[in-house]
Amino acid sequence: MPQPSSAQETPMIPRRLLFGNPDKASPQISPDGSQLGFLAPVNGVLNVWVAPAEDPSAATPVTQDTGRGVRLFGWTYRSDQIVYLQDSEGDENWHIYGVNLSSGDIRDLTPLEGVQAQIQRDSHKHPDRILVGLNDRDPQLHDLYLIDLETGDRELVQHNEGFAWFVADDEFNVRFAARLTGDGGSEYLRQSADGEWENAFTISMEDAVTTSPLEFNKSGEVLYMEDSRGRDTAVLKAINLASGAETVLASHDRADVSGTMIHPTEKTIQAVSFNYDRKTWQILDESVAGDLEFLATVCPGDVEVVSRTLDDGCWIVAYLRDDGPVRYYRYLRETKEATFLFTNREALEGMPLVKVHPVVIRARDGLDLVCYYSLPLDADPQQTGELTSPLPMALLVHGGPWARDSWGYNPVFQLLANRGYAVLSVNFRGSTGFGKNFVNAGNLEWGAKMHDDLVDAVQWAIGQGMADDGRVAILGGSYGGYATLAGMTFTPDVFACGVDIVGPSNLVTLMETLPPYWQPTIDLFTSRVGDFRTEEGKKFLLERSPLSHVDNIKRPLLIGQGANDPRVKQSESDQIVRAMQDKEIPVTYVLYPDEGHGFARPENSLSFFAIAEAFLSECLGGRYEPLGQDLEGASITVPEGAQHIPGLLEALN
């Protein structure tokens, strides 16, 4: 197919810069402010490094992972101890490892096979222990244990009697236990003096996604909550637990609470963020007003305080941009001194990255959809968000679905725009952050009104002269993968091709095979997606399942799957590939034996997007970087359809 003129002059951004390991990422200051920890590669694998806070260049690695890489780590309240999480090839049975920086010893604090560990709480009042949930007794339920960071000894704190989750305080007291009600709401209980659990408060189904506890005040007498009860958007509320008196601390007419800054020891709310189309802050504690005002002058981008010392005197600040890597600074509050640390991907500085434009699109029934789009540099050199002629377009659908897209840097956006495509993402109904009415508008609407929102956004882009009708791709992961399969089967004439990553094809088998530890929350799924436990519910879910409509597929489809995915099992991809084979419908199926719900190893992510890039070029006519050596080191297998991707058979051989 002819290549679009919009992508002929802009230099091609190497794929490795977008999907390879970051240079450095996730910096965190130790509680005493003396040391800085961050993630960086060791022999191509992400590990934790530690440096003196004043000299990041003197960092040395303190972990020794040689496989998937460390992605989740944090300081304990002992400044000589770090913990990190690791699973096995994507199975999400997380182990918690402790690293003693004085001795260099690394200890598996939860050495139990086939068990998932969850860090529930740490506390500056008890720096030698952490509160952990383990489903070792019952795969469906996490009991709570206190684990000694030095010895690994664990002490049972709370036997789980069928609860979905717990809320504990700084003394490691379990203050509330929550369980779902049959309609998808939740009931919070607390123990009476005689040890019996009794109702403290109830959250109805309509508020369940937008209402939850956040933290206690210093005395433990006040509970801070994000709360949508009695209104649409979730406000920040303080509830006196003795009197029941409630005070609204911060609110927004169009957006839910999205983040809070809480003093590490005083437990006062300093600032609250809301995110409609861009993040904004409401300051509640004037002591930080000057800090945030000053930080806004240091560097372009949205300011985020990502780590802080126990005395709140030193902050690690991230500047999030749409057309550049994240920039990190160490900020000393007393002197208002901000020292540049590093960017997460230095090689992206100076690359031809594009802007991300927020826009509100009206759905066919009048619902406002907050969306984001990007345009190639050659088609929009000044990055004003306007075009003179339509382009092939990629619709990128977020997962969840109870999540959202936000403004900022996105490597997939940048890849696609650089290759000559307009790119659009949609906060369809069911997405979070826009009030409970918006979330609940997605109930029982998988493959129906939720999908209509995506189609309406595509039609808007065509009507605006942005998208070339007939050359629109749909792609996404998890729910976005489901949406891709729905696009291929329910609206096969709208999309020219689809890229599905770990997307469910059959909603009945999806819910029948959810991980056992999700069972306490199963009513969330049945009330919002459909009830697979009844014959009527099964019929409904099968009708909304792409697998039931495979005959409708008429355009090219690329599927990516992790073999160890505990959420969307490999069988979800296997069964739709098999159905397409039976009907002699072409499909390309890429399977990774060492991955789970998405691709964690950069070699695997790089290889998949190399294939996706070539696939989209075949379908839409954009340019692509040849596969080259980007399959090296990946565990990639292609059980079906390698011949449909330019250069893939040769690269595999």
* Distance in angstroms (rounded) separating the CA atoms of residues 283 and 294: 14
- Active-site residue identified among 79, 478, 505, 617: 478
In the beta sheet, which residues pair with residue 138? Answer: 141
* Distance in angstroms (rounded) separating the CA atoms of residues 101 and 78: 10
- Active-site residue identified among 142, 252, 398, 597: 597
- pLDDT tens digits, one per residue of 39-96: 999 999 999 999 999 999 999 999 999 999 999 999 999 999 999 999 999 999 999 9
* Distance in angstroms (rounded) separating the CA atoms of residues 261 and 271: 5
- pLDDT tens digits, one per residue of 628-653: 999 999 999 999 999 999 999 999 98
Per-residue pLDDT band for 599 (boundaries 50, 70, 90) equals very high
Q: What six digits make up the tokens of 310?
A: 């126990």
Per-residue pLDDT band for 1 (boundaries 50, 70, 90) equals very low
| Count of Cβ atoms closer than 10 Å to residue 224 Cβ | 21
Q: Give me the sheet containing 35-42, strands edge to edge.
A: 25-29, 35-42, 45-52, 60-61
* Distance in angstroms (rounded) separating the CA atoms of residues 343 and 337: 18
Range of weakest confidence among 1-5, 189-193, 455-459, 469-473: 1-5
- pLDDT tens digits, one per residue of 498-508: 999 999 999 99
Per-residue pLDDT band for 447 (boundaries 50, 70, 90) equals very high
* Distance in angstroms (rounded) separating the CA atoms of residues 261 and 288: 10
* Distance in angstroms (rounded) separating the CA atoms of residues 490 and 510: 19
Q: Is 478 a catalytic residue?
A: yes
Q: Is 597 a catalytic residue?
A: yes
- Answer yes or no: is pLDDT of 6 > 50: no
Calculate the average pLDDT of the chain: 96
Quote the pLDDT of residue 231: 97
Quote the pLDDT of residue 542: 98
Quote the pLDDT of residue 194: 86
Looking at residue 254, what DSSP letter applies?
S
- Active-site residue identified among 302, 312, 405, 565: 565
Which of these, 222, 212, 276, lies nearest to 247 by C-alpha position? 222
Quote the pLDDT of residue 9: 84
Q: What six digits make up the tokens of 114?
A: 């086939």
In the chain, what percentage of residues exceed pLDDT 70? 99
Handedness of CA 126, 128, 130, 135 (dihedral sign): negative
- pLDDT tens digits, one per residue of 236-282: 999 999 999 999 999 999 999 999 999 999 999 999 999 999 999 99
Report pTM.
Answer: 0.96
Given a contact cutoff of 8 angstroms between Cβ atoms, the answer to whether 270 and 315 are in contact is no
- Answer yes or no: is pLDDT of 151 > 50: yes
Collapsed DSSP state (helix, strand, coil) of residue 65: coil
Quote the pLDDT of residue 8: 54
Collapsed DSSP state (helix, strand, coil) of residue 155: strand
- Answer yes or no: is pLDDT of 5 > 60: no
Q: Is 88 a catalytic residue?
A: no
- pLDDT tens digits, one per residue of 344-369: 999 999 999 999 999 999 999 999 99
Residue 476 has, within 13 A of its CA and on its CB side, a CA count of 28
Which of these, 417, 405, 401, 389, lies nearest to 450 by C-alpha position? 401
Q: Which residues contact 78 (CB under 8 A, 6 or more apart)?
A: 31, 127, 128, 149
Q: What six digits make up the tokens of 578?
A: 């098999």
* Distance in angstroms (rounded) separating the CA atoms of residues 545 and 530: 11
| DSSP H/E element including 422 | strand 422-426
Q: Which residues contact 560 (CB under 8 A, 6 or more apart)?
A: 499, 500, 501, 502, 590, 591, 592, 599, 608, 612
Average pLDDT of the segment spanning 143-161 = 96
In the chain, what percentage of residues exceed pLDDT 90? 97
Average pLDDT of the segment spanning 316-325 = 97
Given a contact cutoff of 8 angstroms between Cβ atoms, the answer to whether 485 and 449 are in contact is no
